[in-house]
A = this chain, B = another copy of it.
């Protein structure tokens, strides 16, 4: 079967035989090779040049709105045909306003400081060597995502600004939208003199393409998967390339015995209900037994008023009779919905052990007025983000003041938590000498 794909980046792959493994593999390999070549050039582009290219991207997204909307309509039609929920269809939909927001996001990334070339901790050694770190692009990023189409332009802009080449692979539901957006971006950067191959998208929904990407360790330096658990697990299992995962957020708020309970209620309510479908929303509430009888009725009343279903341990259910009994499974679950697991614990240590065991190491908050407890929580909790006396919902690149993020890493290495421009770079060592040799 011959499938004619759109030309997405000015190359001559007019025809991609999806059924031919070897053709698919050569195409992906060729994408990798072009990305590697491009990455060497993008790495040394001046900030002003990259910003001009980003402005071209924003401008062309606006100019090409009708094309993108037309391609998006194909995805919407397929989505309705395939019975996606109206919420999912809405997430997929692009219109002039949403495309303008994408363009503005690209402009905001252009306005951020350029991390490439920043020098850090340059020190002087006794022999006169000046040495320290200099930030450099990672090289080629493989970004696999199952998200709204706007992520395509966000990711392309973040990678270009940080001096990396990127190979994008979006979800099949958004293939027409993503390819239209990528084609626009590739045309824009080409106009600005960015090397061909700096921004590419895999032009097929064939799942084997992902396997080929994951094997190209000579061409791709880092894989960033962002999506559902099964996608992330497949990529972690099969990748020959380092992976930084963007996995689930089973976040906990712990109300300590020394909590200011008037502060604790609005924080758990905000953490649960302000936007329940995102990874930094709270899924579990732990309450110290010394304050449970006072705190839980007040918290439960407000939460239930906002439509939250509570699933509690035995002691919770005794205090809040409207709560359903929780199962073991509940403590592991990221609901992404107006449901909250609630558990009464007897000691601070029990709270810490519970979180490190059942949590997903994303974001946890403690509500306490004890300085000792706050600092002990910070040390003991093995999560990307540890919040003291504030909502888990702040775990976000924008809220942290980093600007746009490519995702929130749930891994420990290289980047933990929100991953912005700086996290898309690495640190090389630089040594400035004037003739030193080692004795």
- Give the distance to chain B from A207, nearest Cβ to Cβ, in Å: 21
Q: Report B-chain residues with C-beta under 8 Å of the C-beta of A406.
A: none
Chain A binding surface, main DSSP class: mixed
Q: Report B-chain residues with C-beta under 8 Å of the C-beta of A382.
A: 40, 43, 136, 139
CB of A326 closer than 8 Å to a CB of B: no
Cβ B389 vs Cβ A432 within 8 A: yes
CB of A44 closer than 8 Å to a CB of B: yes
Cβ B399 vs Cβ A433 within 8 A: no
Given contacts A240-B236, A428-B416, contact A435 B266 (CB under 8 A): yes
| 15 pairs, CB–CB < 8 Å, chain A vs chain B | A125-B399, A125-B400, A129-B390, A131-B401, A244-B413, A266-B435, A266-B437, A267-B435, A384-B429, A385-B431, A389-B432, A389-B433, A389-B434, A394-B438, A414-B414
Given contacts A237-B240, A263-B435, contact A379 B429 (CB under 8 A): no
CB of A427 closer than 8 Å to a CB of B: yes
Given contacts A266-B437, A391-B437, A437-B270, contact A412 B426 (CB under 8 A): yes
Interface residues of A in 382-439 (CB under 8 A from B): 382-391, 393-395, 399-401, 411-414, 416-418, 426-438
CB of A378 closer than 8 Å to a CB of B: yes
Q: Which of B43, B129, B400 contacts A131 (CB 8 A)?
A: B400
CB of A10 closer than 8 Å to a CB of B: no
Cβ A125 vs Cβ B401 within 8 A: yes
Cβ B413 vs Cβ A379 within 8 A: no
CB of A242 closer than 8 Å to a CB of B: yes
Given contacts A390-B431, A399-B125, A433-B388, contact A438 B131 (CB under 8 A): no
- Give the distance to chain B from A134, nearest Cβ to Cβ, in Å: 7
Please report the C-alpha to C-alpha distance between residue A263 and residue B437 in the assembled complex, in whole angstroms. 10
Interface string of A234-254 (1 = CB under 8 A from B): 001100101110000000000
Given contacts A44-B380, A394-B438, A437-B391, contact A412 B139 (CB under 8 A): yes
Q: Report B-chain residues with C-beta under 8 Å of the C-beta of A387.
A: 431, 433
CB of A294 closer than 8 Å to a CB of B: no
Q: Report B-chain residues with C-beta under 8 Å of the C-beta of A306.
A: none
Q: Report B-chain residues with C-beta under 8 Å of the C-beta of A378.
A: 134, 428, 430
Cβ B416 vs Cβ A413 within 8 A: no
Interface string of A109-148 (1 = CB under 8 A from B): 0000000010000010100010100101011000000000
